Chains A and B, each alone.
Chain A
Amino acid sequence: MLRKKMNYFPDEVIEHVFDFITSHKDRNAVSLVCKSWYKIERMSRQRVFIGNCYAISPERVIARFPELKSLTLKGKPHFADFSLVPQDWGGILYPWIEAFAKRRVGLEELRLKRMVVSDESLELLSRSFGNFKALVLVSCEGFTTDGLAAVAANCRSLRELDLQENEVEDHKGNWISRFPESCTSLVSLNFACLKGDINLAALEKLVARSPNLKSLRLNRAVPLDVLQKILMRAPQLVDLGIGSFVHDPASDAYNKLKATILRCKSIRSLSGFLEVTPRCLQAIHPICHNLTSLNLSYAPGIHGNDLIKLIQHCRKLERLWILDCIGDKGLGVVASTCKELQELRVFPSDLQGGGNAAVTEEGLVAISAGCPKLHSLLYFCYQMTNAALITVAKNCSNFTRFRLCTLDPVKPDPVTMRPLDEGFGAIVQSCKRLRRLSLSGLLTDQVFLYIGMYAEQLEMLSIAFAGNSDKGMLYVLNGCKKLRKLEIRDCPFGDTALLTDVGKYETMRSLWMSSCEVTLGGCQTLAEDRPMLNVEIINEDGQIDFSADEKQKVGKMYLYRSLVGPRKDAPAFVRTL
């Protein structure tokens, strides 16, 4: 009966209902209900998310979603972030821009992660989409400030230019002066990752004519006195990234800044401090009580007491990114101060093995006890114990993201000398909503048994230097029904694990295995059995002879499901089986 009634609704009504359905997952689900819903949904979808740019072609995306306005694209596999993927592997933007331009897609927003973005693609982008509003580049490479200049100059309605942790070749800072006088629409500008100088006068003028500017993140080339002038022009800022915070605390310029900051009552998010005179931090204290987000992970210049003094003012903090020089004691202060904390990331500050700066399990336990709302964690630590993890699991069962990294990847529990299986087991058992997990420390197959048993919502799992046998990987593949991304390095998992359930990979986005036990033969078998999978072997040092012994171990394998078969832009060292 109900179904009949639904059919009486004209399409416009159903479309209007669909307007309220915004998540990609829900939209995808809706499109599977029936043909008519598929059609309505696809004609009305404006935001498209593509987690793997090689899973589909731009032409097919346009064909299905002609009204597309916002595109999110991800390119290289996650482990590319850690230099495990060679330079020219792929993830190239240009063909997408070319195709979209050709079909006159009304593109307004482009969000990219781990893609290779050339200046040509930025130039083409800037000239092809008259209504282009937002460009967000995360962990991308391949472009220079010339490309940014083109975007600045040609995108008349630009609202958002957000560059996060990209490798950009800096050809001087004049790109910022390419924003025309008529450009007054900027809401968000983030160029913190640029290394070179910037035209400070042009920057000031740009800020002055951008009344809607809410988010501004400066690079280290912007000194404190210019910061003060900028803040005078933009007291409405909600998110501020400070470049250089170096000055003589006794100077007039500094006192001016102190006064100016008091006017910035809307700042809720603070980051940067790429260069800092710790004694100048007092100027920031007055706005700390309103902060919900604080990122000091690029500020190694702030140490110990200054850090603690700052944090003691931040009672409303929900997100904190920090370096491990805060120490366990500092984390104790966070635990007693930041009761609203939801996300914590503690990054290593000293990679040369000095245990002094690092945090240990103590800091994490303190946080778990003090911050009941914590659900997202990235924690680089010197050591971890099972007891601590068990306590953390008891204190915080809300984790959706739990990533733990011991600096020594195979470090056991230093108290008992046992592997960390039980600790992580407790985490997965307690945190029923866990979607992302990264493991480290000494680990056996046992931890994977736990993960397979308990981690029902797990979507992404990262494993390194863990396990004893194929059983480990099999526990995970059999148990984690919602698994989408699995990345494994340096584990003793081989062909048996790889081939036991080949259908599983079609339910996942991708699988990465490097320095494991899989052989060429195993990969070939898989590729033959599943034509919908691209099984790529990355053979950068030419070690693999594809015509020879199939028992050769494969150094790096990346497989992903795709609707369009092997990609045509693969470099010579990538072989799709």
Chain B
Amino acid sequence: MQGGLGLLGVGGSGSANELTFSKVEKEYDHHPAESDELELGLGLSLGGGGSGKSKGSAWGECGRILTAKDFPSAVSGTKRAADSVSHEGGSPPSISQVVGWPPIRAYRMNSLVSQAKAPRSEEEKVGSEKEKSKDTLKKKICNGNKTNNMFNEKGHLGFVKVNMDGLPIGRKVDLNAHACYETLAQTLEEMFFASPTSINSIVSGAEKKDSSTKSSKLLDGSSEFVLTYEDKEGDWMLVGDVPWGMFLSSVRRLRIMRTSEANGLGPRFQERNEKPRAKPV
């Protein structure tokens, strides 16, 4: 049940989960309310577009309904929640776009925002087919992981530095956007190996993959590089040994290291990748 449209007595339902108050037109009727008799059947007066900030007083027979236009946009220090997710094209903005609503302390809101960067929920529908399959793929890969998807509540500092041997300029990756090693490795491969504009002159041609490759060569040891991370104690560790959540809680930064430099690690065997996972089609 949604607030806005329902109030008008209009039959439309839209999608039940959307809070659409911000979409509906505001009535700018300045007459004070007369009786308390509410005739919600009356259509919302479509008089008046907005003059920016004017609130208009009356509610009249219909609900006070506000558009996002009514809310002063010039509030500095606005901490808005993560960008609203489009369910389909032209969907209403999320309630989080109303400044200061819901009234949650900014500190708590920031914590919530960083949790929101966790793996995308199943309700999400992404535009292109390719992205869709990528997402399904991601989920498929991650669901094979025994660990709970809720693991990666690392908090707001989801971004860690990633450096690759031989490249002077590093990147940053948001760990909160991943629920397992596979998707992380894929993202890193896309970042460092797939993009034609990346500085990969030193990467041998054999390492360049196209982005449709699904298996993560960084994890299975077949590449010239291995993925390592520095943990809280300052030690450099191979990525993939510990449960994902434990990895999240101890990782400080990542390094894509030449296999030859990874002393004592040797070539990685297929079995190292111990978590049973359906190989993507």
Q: Which of B17, B53, B59, B245 contacts A553 (CB 8 A)?
A: B53
* Contact in complex: B6, A540 (CB < 8 Å): no
* Contact in complex: A301, B58 (CB < 8 Å): no
* Contact in complex: B18, A351 (CB < 8 Å): no
The chain B residue with its CB closest to the CB of A405 is B102
Cβ contacts A402-423/B at 8 Å (1 or 0 each): 0001011111101001110000
Q: Which of B54, B157, B248 contacts A195 (CB 8 A)?
A: B157
Q: How far is the CA of A143 from the CA of B115 in the complex (A)?
A: 25
Interface residues on chain B, size class: 35 or more
Q: How far is the CA of A409 from the CA of B20 in the complex (A)?
A: 11
Question: Quick one: which of A78-120 are within 8 Å of B by CB?
Answer: 79, 81-87
Given A275-B153, A355-B16, A515-B53: A409 and B71 interface contact (C-beta under 8 Å): no
Q: How far is the CA of A553 from the CA of B19 in the complex (A)?
A: 29
B155 to chain A: closest CB distance in Å?
6
- Asked whether A528 is an interface residue with its Cβ less than 8 Å from the other chain, the reply is no
Q: How far is the CA of A277 from the CA of B40 in the complex (A)?
A: 49
Q: How far is the CA of A354 from the CA of B87 in the complex (A)?
A: 11
* Contact in complex: A492, B55 (CB < 8 Å): yes
The chain B residue with its CB closest to the CB of A84 is B100
Given A298-B111, A553-B54: A490 and B66 interface contact (C-beta under 8 Å): yes
Q: How far is the CA of A471 from the CA of B33 in the complex (A)?
A: 10
Question: Quick one: which of B10-66 are within 8 Å of A by CB?
Answer: 16-19, 21, 32-33, 36, 38, 40, 53-59, 63-66
* Contact in complex: A246, B246 (CB < 8 Å): yes
Given A356-B17, A442-B63, A515-B53: A407 and B107 interface contact (C-beta under 8 Å): no
B67 to chain A: closest CB distance in Å?
11
* Contact in complex: B57, A414 (CB < 8 Å): no
Q: How far is the CA of A139 from the CA of B76 in the complex (A)?
A: 18
Q: How far is the CA of A187 from the CA of B215 in the complex (A)?
A: 53
Question: Quick one: which of B63-110 are within 8 Å of A by CB?
Answer: 63-66, 70-72, 74-79, 81-82, 84-85, 94-96, 98-109
- Asked whether A312 is an interface residue with its Cβ less than 8 Å from the other chain, the reply is no
* Contact in complex: A354, B33 (CB < 8 Å): no
Chain A residues with Cβ under 8 A from B115's Cβ? 300, 349
A314 to chain B: closest CB distance in Å?
21
Q: Which of A298, A303, A414, A469 contacts B1 (CB 8 A)?
A: A414
* Contact in complex: B151, A246 (CB < 8 Å): yes
Q: Which of B6, B95, B96, B116 contacts A414 (CB 8 A)?
A: B6
Chain A residues with Cβ under 8 A from B258's Cβ? none
Q: Which of A298, A356, A418, A445 contacts B33 (CB 8 A)?
A: A445
B167 to chain A: closest CB distance in Å?
26
- Asked whether B156 is an interface residue with its Cβ less than 8 Å from the other chain, the reply is yes
Question: Quick one: which of A472-488 are within 8 Å of B by CB?
Answer: none
B143 to chain A: closest CB distance in Å?
16
* Contact in complex: A492, B150 (CB < 8 Å): no
Q: Which residues of B contact A (CB under 8 A)?
A: 1-4, 6-7, 9, 16-19, 21, 32-33, 36, 38, 40, 53-59, 63-66, 70-72, 74-79, 81-82, 84-85, 94-96, 98-109, 111-113, 115-116, 121, 123, 147-148, 150-151, 153-157, 232, 243, 245-246, 248-250
Given contacts A275-B151, A410-B63, A465-B66, 8 further A-B contacts (CB under 8 A): A81-B106, A86-B76, A246-B246, A274-B153, A355-B19, A410-B66, A418-B40, A540-B75
Q: Which 9 A-B pairs have the closest CB atoms?
A: A541-B74, A492-B57, A82-B100, A411-B3, A468-B33, A165-B107, A351-B96, A351-B81, A414-B1
